[in-house]
């Protein structure tokens, strides 16, 4: 079982959006996925409430119970656990970082977000030697801030995911329907972004890279969710 944790000491960086969309995308590769929601705002759980019975499982988990939830996920055959955390919650961020095989630091290409990177990296360093990547989210279609942000992160020794997530209403619309963007608009730009991020993550975590065709049961489930 692999553990992917989203850690960033700032809210509003699309951690939850990226986490749930990667969870949906990973299922298309035949993976059993569990999302652990450590955020007191339980945004991932709210999405799951809209989604209904269709997978993935989303578990709201107090930080002291994280290890127990991870053991339960492993015992029940999970292939991938994705941990979502809130901004400015050191305990949750530290616990998620310690549990991770890969940490994604989601941030917007803005000065406000960059100011939190130092604190985030400090938490990750205290968690031990962890594979960490930054991923830029809510990137505007115009301007060069994403290039400047990437250069700054690389100068700090942080590797940056080559795939950026654009500022797209598709992410918001899919969330409101309890869907992933690869379900809501399979051929859209947002779906392509998430598919590319999954492939990048899979190359690090050694996850499957052959996307499976949805069977009839999964198709019917998607229709019920929609």
Q: For residue 223, what pLDDT is reported?
A: 38
Gyration radius (Cα) of the chain, Å: 16
Q: For residue 213, what pLDDT is reported?
A: 44
Q: For residue 22, what pLDDT is reported?
A: 98
* Rama region for 158: left / alpha / beta (φ>0; ψ in -120 to 50; rest): beta
Give residues with Cβ within 8 angstroms of 205, minimum separation 6.
2, 4, 80, 101, 102
Q: For residue 216, what pLDDT is reported?
A: 38
All structural domains of the chain: 2-225 (3.40.50.300)
Q: Where are the alpha helices (DSSP H) in the chain?
A: 15-27, 43-51, 66-75, 90-99, 111-114, 117-126, 145-155, 169-176, 181-184, 189-205, 216-225
Q: For residue 145, what pLDDT is reported?
A: 87
Q: For residue 215, what pLDDT is reported?
A: 40
Report which of 162, 181, 186, 161 is spatially closest to residue 171, judged by C-alpha positions.
181
Q: For residue 199, what pLDDT is reported?
A: 97
**pLDDT tens track, the chain, 226 positions:** 999 999 987 777 889 999 999 999 999 999 999 999 999 999 999 999 999 999 999 999 999 999 999 999 999 999 999 999 987 778 999 999 999 999 999 998 988 888 888 889 999 999 987 899 999 999 998 788 898 899 889 988 999 999 999 999 999 999 999 999 999 999 999 999 999 999 999 999 999 998 884 443 443 344 333 3
Q: For residue 207, what pLDDT is reported?
A: 97
């Amino acid at each position: 079982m692999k553990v992917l944790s989203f850690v960033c000491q700032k809210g509003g960086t699309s951690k939850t959006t990226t986490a749930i969309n990667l969870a949906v995308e990973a299922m298309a590769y035949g993976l059993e996925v569990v999302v652990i929601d450590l955020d007191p705002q339980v945004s991932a759980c709210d999405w799951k409430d809209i989604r209904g019975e269709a997978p993935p499982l989303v578990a709201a988990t107090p930080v002291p119970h994280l290890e127990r939830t991870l053991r339960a996920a492993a015992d029940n055959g999970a292939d991938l656990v994705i941990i979502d955390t809130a901004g400015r919650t050191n305990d949750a961020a530290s616990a998620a970082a310690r549990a991770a095989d890969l940490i994604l630091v989601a941030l917007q290409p803005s000065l406000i977000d960059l100011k939190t990177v130092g604190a985030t990296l400090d938490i990750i360093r205290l968690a031990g030697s962890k594979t960490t990547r930054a991923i830029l989210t809510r990137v505007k279609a115009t301007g060069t801030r994403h290039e400047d942000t990437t250069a700054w992160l690389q100068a700090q020794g942080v590797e940056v995911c080559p795939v950026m997530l654009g500022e797209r209403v598709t992410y918001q619309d899919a969330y409101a329907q309890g869907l992933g963007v690869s379900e809501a608009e399979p051929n859209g730009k947002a779906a392509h972004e998430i598919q590319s991020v999954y492939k990048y993550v899979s190359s690090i975590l050694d996850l499957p890279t052959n996307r499976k065709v949805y069977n009839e049961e999964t198709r019917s489930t998607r229709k019920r969710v929609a």
